Structure 1
């Protein structure tokens, strides 16, 4: 049982770092045109994360697909799976 904790921790760390890499890729893409303009905070919360501040829904969490976050994350996971399948030489 204790040995499976290492597997679980590695899985959680890989999810975390994949999200960080996807976020950095998104930032790089948006920084080419400086899509945020004069209001970086408004762009990040309203347009990128599509966070509306919560309101009556509580913490503002939803299960809706956010393309600006989801597609880069899917691309990172696809690249990771490709590298694992091909192998490092």
Structure 2
């Protein structure tokens, strides 16, 4: 990312997960909060909303992980998992 980042605001993220790919399978981690982050790179300011997850006692940006795929509502993610399981049973 940029050399300068500042968290401007933090908002709760109830019901949202960060989806990661692990060994070809998707796994979800609860997002603790969304952060409005201002970054400055080469004199250009930019603001982004970024997901944050708890990692032990630390809270880290979820989108910095190599295997990060997307942010999704928990209900949607669980629904997709149920559909995948149903397809496996039918085969």
Shorter chain as denominator, the TM-score bin is under 0.3
Greater relative contact order (Cα < 8 A, sep 6+) = 1
* TM-score for the superposition, normalised by structure 1: 0.24
Structure label with greater radius of gyration: 1
* TM-score for the superposition, normalised by structure 2: 0.24
